Structure 1
Amino acid sequence: MDRANRKRIALIGTGHRGTSMWGINVVKGYGDFVEIVALCDINRLRAERARGFLGIDAPIYADAQEMIATVKPDTVIICTRDSNHDEMIVRALEAGVNVITEKPMTTTAEKVRRILDAEKRTGKRVDVTFNYRYAPTVRKIKELLNSGVIGDVTSIDFHWFLDNKHGADYFRRWHAVEENSGSLFVHKSTHHFDLMNWYLDDDPEDVSAFASLRKYGKAGPFRGERCKTCPHASYCDYYMDISKDPWLEALYEDPSREDGYVRDACVFREEINIPDTMSAMIRYRKGVQVTYSVNTYMPIEGHFIAFDGTKGRIQMRQFERQPWETPEHDEILLVRNFGGAETITVPHEPGGHFGGDPKLQDMLFKPDTPDPLNQRAGSRAGAMSVLCGIAALQSAKTGQMVSVSKLLDPAQAIAA
């Protein structure tokens, strides 16, 4: 592509994810196709640090609406807190700008409906960054399911394990407050629910769930404000010395002077109000039944998934971190009814999420990238995954099964 015809991109939110994947990676890998023309963050110092990491000379704005009106980008990339994604998305759409948003698309059913309405009214597009769809093993599983090798899928067994590093990190940050993230049933599980929706090419219908806070927050043995000033630092298993991570220190420590947000908040602090132990049962419109769980304080990181079909079974255990050595590939076990078993080896690929991140960015930024598996995810995919998480949290709170379609269309609930 002629560099003069590059798409103009503006980045809203310059924290870790925005600055790394949607900043540095875009500048380094996609400069022939797109140009980052502005940065927006309410924390000026963080935005300045991010601009330095990107090595660009783009202007910085504190107000997204002002930035869009002044710079007139073709697309904005939204990497703010989940709870204000809807505000940023709708502002951009109404200004005639396409949107790429980090997952989850938003955090409440009302906000989902607001985004879908704005996209329909404006004719602009929302892309949701479901990078797990692009991981090589995930792609292979989708191809196997599409081939019909195990017949019609009747049930899925899906369990995600977050270890004491990654899982705990959610409880250090803004994610630990439901009003910000919608809980991990929304923020993290949106990935997992989207994968199942995409694997099955179907919508979740009913959700029944349990959730509790067993390890972090008030369940912890003691508490402080943050690791840096904590009197329990010498014996806390979750103590984190932010000064040993130059990246986090640059983006968060000095910038905390401007907004008070620290990156090493206590994982046991009182304000934490999201569950850390979650499970759900999901029924899909075509009848597939799912058992699902996510746990945030494991000694292992990764997931297990199995598909039972009318002609066989597919199962896979993906390892991410664990206290033993694993190969640089995944193994999918395909078992045919009355036909023996086959192990399919899928090598990991370069880049985040075993190669999924660059494949996602290829899809978004390189013109005419083919999409035979329908991996590119729009607002409806974003909506259905979020609504599944919202339904799960609501079910866990009320003890009642929750209809996903009634969350999408309240008129159904009123009629019922």
Structure 2
Amino acid sequence: MATKKYVICGVSTRANGMFIKPMLDTFRSHCEIVGLLDADPGRFANCFRKFPTLSGLPVYRPDQFDQMIRETNPDTVIVAGADHTHAEYIVKALEHDLEVISEKPMVTTGIDCLRVIEAQKHSKGKLHVAFNYRYAPIHTRIKELVREGRIGRVTSVDLNWYLDTYHGASYFKRWNRKRSHSGGLSIHKSTHHIDLVNWWIDQKPVEAFAYGALNYFGPDGEMNPSKEDGRYCGACHVKQQCSYFMRWSTRSKEVVPEDDHLTGIETKPSAYTGYRADACIFDSEIDIEDTYAAVIKYDKGAFMNYSVNFSLPYEGYRLAINGTKGRIETKEMLSKRTFPQEVEQTIDYFPLFGGKETIHVVPRQGGHGGGDPLLLEDLFLGPDPVRSYEILAGAEAGAASVLTGEAIWKSVQSNQPVRIADLLAVESRA
């Protein structure tokens, strides 16, 4: 297999850990990184500290994208910066007929979904959206059970997702707390969950109705020890009165729990230019929700009851998929912060007429429930030829999850159901 050349737009923590590190290690004989693009020179410096072999690599500003393509002649563009930057790089890369790998969410608005879909139609290149949750062993087994017809035609789905008080709060410390940057968590985070269901049941969402609120974070959060803006955990004078901080720490020892979304360097004031990832979760600039409950209707008749909560005692989810021939259900405890011991993964299958069957799933090492390593193999080595079904997501799947997330948020604002088709019609006229 020939070596392919890659450029990376957005030299983020995710870019460093999810892409650059394995490209330099596991996939080094298949990958050559030929350029980096970012608005912040501090991110280049951080990358070169982590990976000295990349020192001297050409670096570019956002307005130098076309110059980067001319000078480096890449095969593939990896897009891994803040969510609101994705659309511009994806569209430009497709216009250059290049392969594109984008972190999820693909984009943050319906308008940008349309831009990407249109660009994909006219491009010789192809977009892949890095939905790593699809690849976790328990998730592929659920897909296989549905494909095998074990539960018949899917009629309804119940999915309740829980984030603990560290991981959930982390979204309110970082740039995700601004809707203009992330699209809100119904897009930034829920696209993961919505995409899983879309893929599992092979149906397209057509309508959503939802409620949402900011219950825990922001200046009116009940656990806010002091109503003042501009605080950072690293230097906060009231952090010992903050229940979110002290859950993991003691007066004599400050602990940063394991989290694949940020590293220690990001919490240092000088790590990046004008940005820290430890901003106060009670700041008044927060303009997103931390709780959603939604009902989603699908094109082949299924309904989903979906909820997500970003401040709970433990992390995981509860899932049930019902069909004309039976039901499958599972619950998964995802975080070793709150469940340090390995929890056995099982799926319970209930035929409509007959006895329950418990299916034991063999766990796999790696991030996101063992999904990351297999996703990277598909991205850098090509799709697994042994797999009998499609798993790597493209522009259409990326758009379906974003549009559903936007429909959820717009329903929260309007207190009315939002049809995806109407949303697309409005966006196309914008």
Matched, 1:44 2:41: yes
Whether contact under 8 Å (2:46, 2:271) holds in the other structure is: no
Partner residue of 2:92? 91
Deviation at 1:98, TM superposition (A): 1.6
Deviates more, 1:320-329 or 1:380-389: 320-329
- Structure 1 letter corresponding to 2:349: L
Partner residue of 2:300? 286
Structure 2 residue runs without a partner (length 5+): none
For residue 340 of structure 1, give the secondary structure of its aligned residue in structure 2: coil
Matched, 1:20 2:17: yes
Whether contact under 8 Å (2:185, 2:288) holds in the other structure is: yes
- Structure 1 letter corresponding to 2:60: Y
Partner residue of 2:389? 373
Matched, 1:237 2:253: no
Whether contact under 8 Å (2:98, 2:125) holds in the other structure is: yes
Q: 1:397 aligns with which of 413, 419, 422?
A: 413
Measured in 1, the distance between the counterparts of 2:16 and 2:33 equals: 11
Matched, 1:317 2:327: no
For residue 197 of structure 2, give the secondary structure of its aligned residue in structure 1: helix
Measured in 2, the distance between the counterparts of 1:243 and 1:280 equals: 37
Whether contact under 8 Å (2:211, 2:292) holds in the other structure is: yes
Q: 2:354 aligns with which of 339, 344, 367?
A: 339
Partner residue of 1:138? 139
Measured in 1, the distance between the counterparts of 2:191 and 2:272 equals: 32
Whether contact under 8 Å (1:15, 1:46) holds in the other structure is: yes
* Inter-CA distance 234–243: structure 2 relative to 1 (3 Å threshold): closer
Measured in 2, the distance between the counterparts of 1:117 and 1:323 equals: 44
Deviation at 1:282, TM superposition (A): 0.5
* Inter-CA distance 291–366: structure 2 relative to 1 (3 Å threshold): same
TM-score by length of 2: 0.90
Structure 1 residue runs without a partner (length 5+): none
Measured in 2, the distance between the counterparts of 1:244 and 1:339 equals: 50
- Structure 1 letter corresponding to 2:395: S
Partner residue of 1:217? 218
Identity, in percent, stands at 38
TM-score by length of 1: 0.93
Deviates more, 1:64-73 or 1:311-320: 64-73
Deviates more, 1:347-356 or 1:379-388: 347-356
Q: Deviations over 1:136-161 (max 9, x none)?
A: 00000110001111111110000100
Whether contact under 8 Å (1:48, 1:60) holds in the other structure is: no
* Inter-CA distance 112–60: structure 2 relative to 1 (3 Å threshold): same
* Inter-CA distance 244–310: structure 2 relative to 1 (3 Å threshold): closer
Measured in 1, the distance between the counterparts of 2:327 and 2:4 equals: 44
Measured in 2, the distance between the counterparts of 1:195 and 1:280 equals: 16
Measured in 2, the distance between the counterparts of 1:75 and 1:324 equals: 39
Measured in 1, the distance between the counterparts of 2:198 and 2:179 equals: 24
Partner residue of 1:248? 263
Q: Deviations over 1:342-381 (max 9, x none)?
A: 1111021011112110111111111453242210100000
Deviation at 1:218, TM superposition (A): 2.5
Q: Residues 12-411 of structure 1: matches in 2 within 5 Å?
A: 12-57=9-54, 58-63=57-62, 64-65=64-65, 66-220=67-221, 221=224, 222=226, 223-225=228-230, 226-239=232-245, 248-251=263-266, 253=268, 255-256=270-271, 258=273, 260-321=274-335, 323-324=338-339, 326-367=341-382, 369-370=384-385, 371-410=387-426
Whether contact under 8 Å (1:303, 1:317) holds in the other structure is: yes
Measured in 2, the distance between the counterparts of 1:309 and 1:188 equals: 27
Measured in 2, the distance between the counterparts of 1:405 and 1:273 equals: 27
Aligned residues: 410
* Inter-CA distance 123–257: structure 2 relative to 1 (3 Å threshold): closer
- Structure that is richer in helix per residue: 1
- Structure 2 letter corresponding to 1:375: I
For residue 327 of structure 2, give the secondary structure of its aligned residue in structure 1: strand
